[in-house]
Chains A and B, each alone.
Chain A
Amino acid sequence: MLTDIAIIITKIMIVIGGTFTAVAYLILAERKVAGFVQERYGPNRVGIWGLLQPIADGVKTMLKEDITPAKANRIIYHLAPAMVLAPALVTFAVVPFGSGIDAFGRHIAFQIADINIGILFIFAITSIGVYGVVLGGWSSNNKYSLLGGVRSSAQMISYELALGLSVVGILLLTGSLRLNDIVEAQIGMWNVFRQPVAFMIFLVAVFAETNRLPFDLAESEQELIAGYHIEYSGFKYSMFMLGEYSNIITASALIVTLFFGGWTVPFIDVTKLGHLGAFLSVVSFAVKTGFFLFLYLWVRWTLPRFRYDQLMHLGWKILLPLALLNLLFTAAWITYV
């Protein structure tokens, strides 16, 4: 019993610590990738290659003055960053990031909670992520942030549909809502090959869900200045950032889990390799996730941004019907073939 609790706590520590570190370096990577794309250096002053930059950034945001607008709604204004960050971190709980090892006389899964409705859990949690954004935008009592909040909530609700529907095809193929089942079903054949359309929809929708370019209308620098977090500064601002980037990481991990075989390694059955296999699986998972993180950054520095109506058009009139068609087709395939 005690060991169990210890193991779980360790896992949580690992995941949260890993996520935070990843976020910190994701921000650095973003700036580095920007430099690479735009043929300049990016941060290179703090530490070699700017590797200590995240720490400097962190210290800076901590020490910045924490401003609360005079007419803001104080309670919600203070709550909102946490409301963004918490769901972002919780979501990762059900993502399996490795095959698991046998130690202490039991099987330890590399996953905090292996619940049998994992996918639903993720959708449930992400669906509340929108509260932080909306309430943050509203409570700042700034028209720009309000517009940003409204935009982002409309966008997240719209794309959640396409997101959910695109996954249903995979659920039909796998017959389970457990993420581990989905991963194991992909040994030998990744879902991306079985459900390419679903993958495209999921990818686009997940970009929209995480408010990233070309869907970053909620915080579009040039229109809404910074959108919902315009009035935030200091630690609360960095919480928003943490939440956003954790969402990106979770999203990439989800793409990998759902479509790219999760922790599996192509052509190698890691479950039979013991501890080495576990290590390999974690590496495989990390590499795949890293690729999608890079894709996020890559797209960010390449594409312009949609307009609100175009965004809605894409979500409702293209992705949603496409997802439905894909679902229909998959269902027909499973039923008749």
Chain B
Amino acid sequence: MLPIEYYLWFAAALFAIGVAGVLLRRNVIIVFMSIELMLNAVNVTFIAFSRQMNNIDGQIFVFFVMTLAAAEVAVGLAIIVAMYRNKKSINVQDMNLLKW
């Protein structure tokens, strides 16, 4: 039996890697993948806690996170494709319309 700390540490590391990916990479698709990494890190903590508390609710949450991820990826990738058509680029730095 492992202490829950291990799982939390592991999740934190995964999450930090995801954050670094989001912040450092310029390829939107990779940024997206990094977001998936972060989501999964959270999932690990959910399941670990669910196991520790002996309560299924955490797992249900993971289920919803996955649903959300699926929806997010579908829309996000569609946006990327549309973006690519317009800008011929998938570089995050070129996506700077969100400003004045």
Q: Do A and B touch each other in the complex, judged by CB within 8 A?
A: no
Instruction: Mark A residues whose CB is within 8 Å of B.
Output: none
Instruction: Mark B residues whose CB is within 8 Å of A.
Output: none
